[in-house]
Structure 1
Amino acid sequence: MLSRVADSLYWINRYLERAENISRFLEVSEAMALDCPPGSAEPWLPLVEVTGDRHRFDTTYPDATPKQVVRFLLQDRSNPNSIVSCIAVARENARQIRDVITTEMWEQINDLHWSLQDDEDIWREPVQEQLRIIRRGCQLVYGITDTTLSRDLSWLFSQLGRLIERADKTSRILDVKYFLLLPSPEEVGGVLDELQWITLLRTAGAYQMYRHSVQQAISPAAVARFLLLDPIFPRSVRYCLQGISDTLQQIQQLPNQDTPDDLDCLRGQLLARWSYVRIDNLIEAGLHEAIDQLQQDLNQLHHLIQTRYFTSADLHSIPTDPACALSSFTA
């Protein structure tokens, strides 16, 4: 497989996952807005923080309003992380490799892209309904991919992009929301306190599975444990890291080496550290610091994948470097 094909497959899935996450974030924030003063952008601004675009937003929209936040994240073409921009880039990557992906995949991505090109049409439907359509459109691409694409390198690089993006966004939404939602002592256990944590779980697409898995009252530590460390929930960080590790092993298919290279080291270290840590230890050592380190490691993982697989002429000439100097982590 040519490196440019692997690169396109990887980014198609990263951008679709990003668009799907943002659509769900916005959809759930509509509910949170009911508890805030009319016209307040307070429940929306954390979503801009999650995408890492706060400076760009503040520059473009100095007088923040809820509608401006929605516009910025949904259809602002000057924002590379808006839903419209993400789907446009995914569609362009898909167009370049139409002979590799299935016809059904291309048709769904193309239809989703063109459904968002009329700015006025986007606002004809209630925003929440439009976001639901986008979210389901992205999920439909996942389903079509799962049922029509052979389990070869095309499938593996698609999975890799989706899982890395998912782990990143789950950790980011928890990091941004966790400290904003921590109530004052007198509010702990109150109705509003519980509603806010339910909203966080729904933002991460995790509420129903949390209820099935965690047979106790909602608490900050239990929510953090589920989103970070649950081994079977498909949006938890640990589950994604297990999938990333398994996928990379299938892509590499290399004989056992006495000394692993940087990519092997980081893959193994990430999986081990997030598989064998307790949530109490993470919180005590500093949850924000642990998540910040995770995001740095995911960025480093992306860089190593890009260097190894996307900058070579083809995937049969992959350089290996036995060096293993990576960031440390204690919890």
Structure 2
Amino acid sequence: MMLARAAENLYWMARYLERAENTARLINSTTHVLLDLPLEVSYGWKNLIEVAGLDTLFHKHYEEANEEAIMRFLIEDSRNPSSIYSCVQYARENTRTLREVLPAEMWERINSLYLYVRAHAASACHSRRDRYMVLNNVIEQRHAIVGLVSGAMVHDLPYQIIKLGRNVERADMTSRILDLNSAIQLPPDSVLHEMLMERIWMSTLNSLSAYQTYRRLISMHVRSSQVIEFLLHDMRFPRSISHCLSEMEACIKLMPRSEPLQIVIAKLRQDIAQHHTNGVTSTALHDYLDGMQAKLGRVHDALTRHYFHAYEGGTAPEGITQSEFQFAESSPA
């Protein structure tokens, strides 16, 4: 039986690694979108931190929301727990405590990623060319780690917890990348409107490595309603929100005493299945995705209460540590 602390560390290791990759994807996507937008469009780097839910923390440490400051905040700033550097550092610390559970090469891979980010984060903040190279390298190294976990790790409970954390984080970030486009307000009388929207949604698909898949499965033409439908509902694509929820549900079913969580996930899947995207306005899309992120947050809270902090009697004695309680042994708080 796993200890609650070990289970929580596995879950967060997976989330931190996924978040580092997804933040890299979000930055690259925004860079590409900004290159294509006309100057009169009311959209900029500040939308990136707003969609990521980090604007309050950013303004606590920075006076001006310009490109360089936002890149520092999202890539290398250790004061931001969601910066790429922080995420990789936290994942490294969690991995260090889990060597008996993980493949032997896992520590080497994650430590190598940490050393790379530490060495190159500063240059990625100052040069767009360096940024593109560094962020792509982060994404590629993360892919190698996922391949190692999938191909070399026994698919038992620890593996399911890693997969669960990865898909919770992935669903949240897919919703945020979609939400990023709802913040773009193009001039309604612009003759370039249709062309710009196609380019914006093409960048969205590219940021999720989804462009070729979309063209093969959906259409050769990129239309906003079809992209939204694809990224919300298409079970064939691993980064769609519906696919992530399906993976989460499959993981949870293999965990002990999981019936309450199965109900939460099933309800969320039903909500998405009933949501129609045809003719949706940018405001309605933003509101819907905000609600989706809140519901995913409640899934995380339920996981934490049910497994990681499920102390017997509902309250942990003063000074107790998670490592003193076995995973899923006690009743939910």
Q: TM-score, normalised by structure 1?
A: 0.86
| Aligned counterparts, 1:251-330, within 5 A | 251-252=255-256, 261=260, 263-280=261-278, 286-312=284-310, 313-319=325-331
1:226-284 CA distance string (max 9 Å, x none): 11111111001111011111110011377xxxxx53x2321211122223443238769
| RMSD over aligned Cα atoms | 2.7
Q: Is the 8 A contact 2:110 2:145 kept in 1?
A: yes
Q: SS at 1:144's partner residue? A: helix
| Aligned counterparts, 1:192-231, within 5 A | 192-215=196-219, 217-231=221-235
Q: 1:155 aligns with which of 156, 159, 170?
A: 159
1:51 CA drift (Å): 2.1
Does 107-116 or 158-167 show the bigger shift?
107-116
Distance 1:237 1:116, change over 3 A: same
CA distance in 1, matches of 2:105, 2:198: 42
Q: SS at 1:126's partner residue? A: helix
Q: Is the 8 A contact 2:51 2:176 kept in 1?
A: yes
Q: SS at 1:101's partner residue? A: coil
| Aligned counterparts, 1:82-97, within 5 A | 82-97=83-98
1:20-63 CA distance string (max 9 Å, x none): 0111122233333434689x995432221232111222332222
CA distance in 2, matches of 1:309, 1:120: 35
Aligned to 1:104: 105
Q: SS at 1:118's partner residue? A: helix
Q: SS at 2:160's partner residue? A: helix
Distance 1:319 1:245, change over 3 A: same
CA distance in 2, matches of 1:111, 1:83: 14
Q: SS at 1:114's partner residue? A: helix
Amino acid at match of 1:86: C
**What are structure 2's unaligned runs of at least 5 residues?**
311-324
Amino acid at match of 1:108: R
The reply on whether 1:31 has 2:32 as its aligned counterpart is: yes
CA distance in 1, matches of 2:283, 2:71: 35
Aligned to 1:73: 74
Does 265-274 or 6-15 show the bigger shift?
265-274
Aligned to 1:325: none
CA distance in 2, matches of 1:187, 1:230: 32
1:179 CA drift (Å): 3.9
Q: TM-score, normalised by structure 2?
A: 0.85
CA distance in 2, matches of 1:189, 1:69: 28
The number of equivalent residue pairs is 314
The reply on whether 1:126 has 2:130 as its aligned counterpart is: yes
The reply on whether 1:45 has 2:36 as its aligned counterpart is: no
1:185 CA drift (Å): 5.3
Distance 1:307 1:14, change over 3 A: same
CA distance in 2, matches of 1:134, 1:175: 23
Q: SS at 2:148's partner residue? A: helix
The reply on whether 1:241 has 2:232 as its aligned counterpart is: no
Q: Is the 8 A contact 1:15 1:89 kept in 2?
A: yes
Identity of counterpart residues, as a percentage? 32
Q: Is the 8 A contact 2:235 2:242 kept in 1?
A: yes
